[in-house]
Amino acid sequence: MMVKKVDHIGIAVRSIEKALPFYIETLNLTLEGIEEVSSQHVRVAFIKVGDTKIELLEPTSEESSVAKFIDKRGEGLHHVALAVNNIEERLEELKNKGIALIDEKPRVGAAQANIAFLHPKSTSGVLYEFCEKQRGEKSD
């Protein structure tokens, strides 16, 4: 099992526009880009922090798991994304070790990365995302 780094930390927000000034103006961090990921019903903003990122997640519909999260728990820390290679093999390994997977097969996430989530009931309450960048894209 090879986890390379924390790719990003996901934070659920009601509004990217309202949340961004803290990161950009107050902390002086750099916005890498904003993108809609329709398969997950979210709009995301990536902010560079050293060699990892913060991902602000704004729900785009009530179907979004982020909308449900905010309704139940309010805004805040939502998931930790770990960068891996060969994501399908990593998921198979985890499954064989008895970890509950939300996604048995990877789906397409931001920047066309392959992503899959592990169920928080198997990880002491943390929602983990595995993500594998498209070949050729730099991993920071």
Q: State whether residue 8 is helix, strand or coil.
A: strand
**Strand ranges, E, within 1-140:** 3-12, 30-37, 42-49, 52-59, 76-84, 107-108, 114-118, 128-132
Which partner from the list ligand MC0, Co ion, none does 117 bind, CB cut-off 5 to 8 Å by kind? ligand MC0
Whether 119 contacts 108, CB under 8 Å = no
Among 81, 84, 87, 118, binds Co ion (CB under 5 A): 81
Q: Which tokens in the block code for residue 78?
A: 């939502």
Least distance to Co ion from the beta carbon of 65, Å?
11
Of residues 68 through 87, those in contact with ligand MC0 by CB under 6 A are 68-69, 72, 78-79, 81
Q: Closer CB to ligand MC0, residue 28 or residue 74? A: 74
Least distance to ligand MC0 from the beta carbon of 1, Å?
20
Q: Closer CB to ligand MC0, residue 25 or residue 86? A: 86
- Which residue has tokens 């602000």? 56
Q: Closer CB to ligand MC0, residue 17 or residue 71? A: 71
Q: Closer CB to ligand MC0, residue 26 or residue 105? A: 105
Q: Which tokens in the block code for residue 14?
A: 């009601």
97 lies in the binding site for ligand MC0 (CB under 6 A): no
Q: Tell me the backbone φ, ψ of residue 127, rounded to 5 degrees.
A: -80, 110
